A = this chain, B = another copy of it.
C-alpha cells in the first residue's frame, strides 16, 4: 500500500534523474548528481554564514534546497563533515581568490590597498552584517572542534605566509621598508583586516568599515620604502 504512493511520487521527478543519468554516472565521468552535492554545499554555506555552524539547521538546509535527508546523508556522513566540506570547498577558495593570490605579483602595498578599497566599495550592508565567513567560523568553532580549528588555522597560516612573502619580495624590490618584521606585520595586517570586518559587522555600519579601512591604508602607506634614504 505504501509502494503505490511512493511510485506515484517517484514518477513526478523521475524524469529529471533520467535526464542526468543520460550524461553519465558518478563513477565514470563525475558529472550528474554532483549538482545535488553542490546545491547542498551552497545552501549549507548560506546557512552557516547566517547562523553559525552549531546553530545551522539541517532541516532548514533541506527545506531551502528541496533535497531530502536521505540525499544529504548519502553525500555527507554527518553535519560536521558537511561543515568541513563547506570550509574546504567554498570558503578556502574564496579567500585565496580574493586575498591571497593577488599578493603573488606586484607591489604588495599597492595590492593590499587596492583590495581593501575594492572590498570596501563592493560590500553591501547585508554583506557587512553577515561578516567574513572565515572569521565567523573561526570565532565560533576554534575552541569547540579541533577539526575546524586545524582547517581554519591552515587557511590563516597560508594567508599570513603569502603576505609575509610578498612583503619580503617588496623589501628586495625596494618597495617596502627594510626595517620592518615582515612576519609580525603580516600577522597584524590579517588580524586588522578581520578586525575591521568584525567591527563593521557589529556596528552594521559602512562608515565604520571605511574608517577602519582608511586607517589601515594609512598604516600600509607608511610601510613603503622612503625615497632617497
Contacts and interface: CB of A to CB of B under 8 A. Distances in A.
A142 B185 CA distance: 29
Copy count, this protein chain? 2
Interface string A199-227: 10111100010011011101100100000
A215 B201 contact: no
A105 B54 CA distance: 43
A140 interface: yes
A188 B184 contact: no
Contacts of A216: 188
Contact of A199 (B55, B156, B185, B211): B156
Interface in A115-159: 129-131, 135-136, 138-140, 142-144, 149, 152-153, 156-157
B143 A50 contact: yes
A215 B198 contact: no
A46 interface: no
A136 B136 CA distance: 9
Contacts of A194: 195, 198-199
A62 interface: no
Contact of A191 (B140, B181, B198): B198
16 contacts: A131-B139, A131-B142, A135-B198, A136-B139, A139-B198, A152-B202, A181-B218, A184-B218, A187-B196, A187-B212, A188-B192, A188-B195, A188-B216, A191-B192, A191-B195, A195-B196
